[in-house]
């Protein structure tokens, strides 16, 4: 008769299988088999981590092997696109210290970084984008759809205020100096007024004087080119447009979009006509904004995807600017259809009807 212990071991080995059969050196009649090793995992079983898509894998591989992407990371630039603008500026000398620059479609901010560096000190850079992104140091930004007339009006009103977006100098004074240099409220208001207001009032005073002198047979005072530009709201020196239509956001709301806006930025859709047509709409909006805000002698740079309508855009640019160039920077990938129009030195006289006529 078997003991209770041996009977339990026989029952466990039959019910649970050979993997759980205990090794028993005390019972020669059981002929215990050695414990088996674990079987490999079933390949059809669900994985804990989903595999990356083929397009994502290709993009990561390309970025990892890209010289400009590596160099941008080393230099602390937002993206490799900074080298495109650096190359264009090296060739055409777009920026000077103290300029006002508007960067359309600034996210993630590499072009604004370059512009802020090249226009310092006392320059100002204003970036506009529909995608929320962390602005580079020293850059003012407005989030909104640039194709909206309300957003365009907001940008025009912002840049026409000369005091907005410029770095302020911090001064430290002692109590004695503060008493000696104390000013009245009227003097403080006068100091806080922007140079546009000052020149506007100076122009009005001059107009009154010129009216009086004209009645006495004197000649009417003529305005300078800068004053004529400011009267019409043209105060921007350089307009940059690296805009592309972003994908509609349907997922990924949990992501940190302020620091990583790439998942909503459009590279290309794979449909050449769609990419080209979308870029032409954005370029025309940028050119219209440039016509309204660029001062005489200002510059304009816009990205476009090559196609049938690019010639019409080039013709309009030639009506407004003295020189128009096509550029394909070395840092732009050879397989990409993107290119850039670089329009230099805006003319003063052409009207909007002349520029945008078919």
pLDDT digits (tens, 9 = 90+) for 229-240: 999 999 999 999
CA dist list (Å): 335 to 3, 17, 61, 305, 330: 81, 61, 16, 12, 12
Digit-coded pLDDT (tens) for 138-168: 999 999 888 889 999 999 999 998 888 887 7
Count of Cβ atoms closer than 10 Å to residue 353 Cβ: 7
Query: 73, 78, 255, 303: which one is catalytic?
Result: 303
Query: What is the percent of the chain where pLDDT is above 90?
Result: 34
When pLDDT is averaged across residues 175-191 and rounded to a whole number, the result is 56
Is position 13 within any domain? Answer: no
CA angle 264, 270, 272 (to 5 degrees): 115
Q: Which residue has the tokens 């805006």?
A: 346
Is position 180 within any domain? Answer: no
- The residues, ordered by sequence, that sit 6+ positions from 133 with a Cβ below 8 Å of its Cβ are 106, 107, 108, 109, 141, 257, 258, 259, 261
When pLDDT is averaged across residues 180-189 and rounded to a whole number, the result is 57
CATH number of the domain enclosing 124: 3.40.50.150
Is position 137 within any domain? Answer: yes
Is position 274 within any domain? Answer: yes
The pLDDT assigned to 236 comes to 96
What range defines the domain where residue 96 resides?
83-162+227-356
When pLDDT is averaged across residues 326-352 and rounded to a whole number, the result is 88
Is position 127 within any domain? Answer: yes
Model confidence at 130, pLDDT cuts 50, 70, 90, reads confident
Is position 185 within any domain? Answer: no
pLDDT of 201 above 70: no
Digit-coded pLDDT (tens) for 89-121: 999 999 999 999 999 999 888 999 999 999 998
Is position 97 within any domain? Answer: yes
pTM above 0.75, yes or no: no
When pLDDT is averaged across residues 62-87 and rounded to a whole number, the result is 79
The pLDDT assigned to 49 comes to 47
Is position 125 within any domain? Answer: yes
The number of distinct structural domains making up the chain is 1
Residue scoring higher pLDDT (285 or 279): 285
For helices 310-320 and 272-293, the axis angle rounded to 10 degrees is 10
Residue scoring higher pLDDT (204 or 98): 98
- What single DSSP character describes residue 20? G
When pLDDT is averaged across residues 192-206 and rounded to a whole number, the result is 54
Instruction: Specify whether 311 is catalytic.
Output: no
In terms of average pLDDT, the best of 178-187, 197-206, 276-285 is 276-285
The pLDDT assigned to 2 comes to 54
Digit-coded pLDDT (tens) for 239-275: 999 887 665 666 666 666 666 665 555 555 666 767 7
């Amino acid at each position: 008769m078997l003991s209770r212990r041996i009977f339990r071991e026989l029952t466990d080995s039959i019910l649970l299988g050979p993997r759980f059969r205990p090794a028993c050196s005390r019972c020669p009649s059981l002929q215990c088999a050695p414990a088996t090793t674990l079987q490999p995992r079933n390949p059809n079983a669900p994985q804990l981590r989903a595999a990356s898509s083929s397009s994502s894998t290709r993009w990561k591989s390309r970025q990892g092997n890209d010289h400009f992407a590596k160099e941008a990371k080393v230099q602390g630039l937002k993206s490799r696109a900074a080298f495109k603008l650096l190359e264009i500026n090296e060739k055409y000398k777009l920026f000077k210290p103290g300029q006002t620059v508007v960067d359309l479609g600034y996210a993630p901010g590499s072009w604004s970084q370059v512009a802020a560096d090249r226009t310092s000190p006392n320059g100002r850079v204003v970036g506009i984008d529909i995608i929320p992104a962390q602005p580079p140091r020293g850059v003012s930004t407005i989030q909104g759809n640039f194709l909206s007339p309300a957003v365009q009006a907001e940008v025009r009103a912002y840049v026409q205020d000369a005091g907005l977006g410029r770095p302020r100098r911090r001064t430290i004074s002692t109590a004695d100096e503060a008493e000696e240099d104390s000013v009245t409220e009227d003097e403080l208001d006068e100091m806080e007024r922007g140079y546009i207001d000052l020149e506007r009032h100076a122009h009005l005073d001059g107009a009154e004087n010129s009216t009086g002198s004209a009645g006495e047979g004197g000649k009417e005072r003529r305005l300078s080119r800068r004053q004529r530009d400011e009267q019409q709201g043209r105060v921007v020196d350089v307009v940059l447009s690296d805009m592309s239509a972003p994908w509609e956001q349907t997922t990924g709301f949990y992501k940190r979009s302020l620091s990583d806006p790439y998942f909503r930025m459009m590279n290309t859709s794979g449909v050449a006509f769609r990419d080209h047509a979308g870029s032409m709409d954005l370029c025309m909006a940028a050119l219209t904004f440039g016509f309204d805000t660029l001062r005489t002698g200002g510059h304009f740079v816009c990205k476009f995807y090559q196609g049938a309508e690019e010639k019409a855009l080039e013709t309009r640019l030639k009506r407004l600017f003295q020189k128009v160039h096509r550029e394909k920077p070395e840092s732009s990938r050879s397989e990409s259809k993107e290119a850039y129009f670089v329009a230099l030195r805006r003319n003063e006289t052409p009207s909007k009807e002349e520029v945008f006529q078919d």
